[in-house]
């Protein structure tokens, strides 16, 4: 899937083509769920979360900016649902992996209000090293843990934390 697909791509007959979105983004949502929840949720729970993500997206379809990336909306909705689901099941995940988030996706309105900041972040990401961009995207968009990213990149967790700190620092300068 090409992450740069904008919501307008999924419009047909002035309606959001949810079937196409489900086909293109189900695996993306499952990746986020698996990265956040690890082994704490069964398959039924995961299916329920995926369904809820698409339901919330459909319910808020009129609030979407049709010229923006759909993946940003979907990632935010998914992360919020997983956090709520784990909280309701009283399953606790390592919050230290998420405490330094640049921004959180509390609602579609939040995303709409801060879309300019998101554009600046995405523009800055295009200018940094490929490995740093991958680390940043894995951590903030795919909700992978620092430990998992370190294993994938074959670098220490400390190095990942330092890189994330430096990237955030660079990005914050752009956003302000």
Please state the domain extents for the chain.
1-93, 102-176
Q: Is the pLDDT of residue 29 over 80?
A: yes
Which residues are 15's β-sheet partners?
12
Q: What is the mean pLDDT of residues 141-155?
A: 87
* Class of CATH domain 102-176: mainly alpha
Model pLDDT for residues 39-77, shown as the tens digit of each residue: 778 888 888 899 999 888 888 877 777 677 788 888 889
The band of 151, judged by pLDDT with boundaries at 50, 70 and 90, is: very high
Q: Which residue is associated with the tokens 């890189």?
A: 163
Residue range 1-93 in CATH 3.30.2350.10: no
What is the reported pTM?
Answer: 0.53
Report whether 54 contacts 18 (CB < 8 A). yes
Helices (H), 38-145: 43-59, 70-88, 108-113, 115-125, 130-140
Torsion of CA 149, 152, 156, 158, to 10 degrees: -10
């Amino acid at each position: 899937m090409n992450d740069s697909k904008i919501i307008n791509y999924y419009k047909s007959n002035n309606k959001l083509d949810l079937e196409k979105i489900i086909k293109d983004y189900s695996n993306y949502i499952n990746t986020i769920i698996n990265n956040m929840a690890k082994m704490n949720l069964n398959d039924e729970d995961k299916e329920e979360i995926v369904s809820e993500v698409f339901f919330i997206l459909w319910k808020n379809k009129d609030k979407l900016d049709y010229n923006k990336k759909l993946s940003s909306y979907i990632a935010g909705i998914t992360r919020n649902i997983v956090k709520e689901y784990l909280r309701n099941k009283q399953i606790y995940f390592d919050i230290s992996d998420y405490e330094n988030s640049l921004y959180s996706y509390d609602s579609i309105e939040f995303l709409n209000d801060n879309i300019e900041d998101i554009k600046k972040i995405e523009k800055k990401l295009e200018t940094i090293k490929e490995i740093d961009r991958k680390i940043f995207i894995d951590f903030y968009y795919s909700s992978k843990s620092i430990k998992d990213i370190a294993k994938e990149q074959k670098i220490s967790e400390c190095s990942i934390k330092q890189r994330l700190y430096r990237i955030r620092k660079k990005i914050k300068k752009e956003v302000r």
